[in-house]
Amino acid sequence: QAQLVESGGGLVQAGGSLRLSCAASGTIVSINVMGWYRQTPGKQREMVAKISSAPLTAYGDSVKGRFTISRDDAKNTVYLQMNSLKPEDTAVYYCKAEGLTTRVGTRGADYWGQGPQVTVSS
């Protein structure tokens, strides 16, 4: 009874910035954790950043100091601000909601978005 709608992504030169957003739609009551994962072609999907309702944050080592995750619970939206982008950041970025609860029918469920492509050129 919910879905994730993502936006952002695109092509940017090394050193540039992008901001991704992911909004959960539906009669959302709460989302425990929202995060971003990326899939590099031929590589394992990795955690980029996560944020809890506290909010507590966690970042992958490769993006610490460059990426910032934030959430707006009033909009049920999570953002990923990506600065100082590097070619190795090129990937498809997937949004994930963990522990999502709706007003009726869904309790503590996980949802994945269909992420945009981020390409960083050198």
73-122 residue pLDDT tens: 999 999 999 999 999 999 999 999 999 999 988 999 999 999 999 999 99
| Mean local confidence (pLDDT), 60-85 | 96
pLDDT tens column, 12-50? 999 999 999 999 999 999 999 999 999 998 889 999 999
Rounded to 5 degrees, φ, ψ at 87 are -55, -35
Task: Tell me 55's DSSP state.
Answer: -
What pLDDT, on a 0 to 100 scale, did the predictor assign at position 105?
87
User: CA-CA-CA-CA torsion for 70, 47, 36, 90, nearest 10 degrees?
Assistant: 110
Rounded alpha-carbon distances, angstroms, from residue 56 to 5, 29, 47, 52, 114: 23, 19, 15, 5, 24
DSSP 115: P
pLDDT at 41: 80
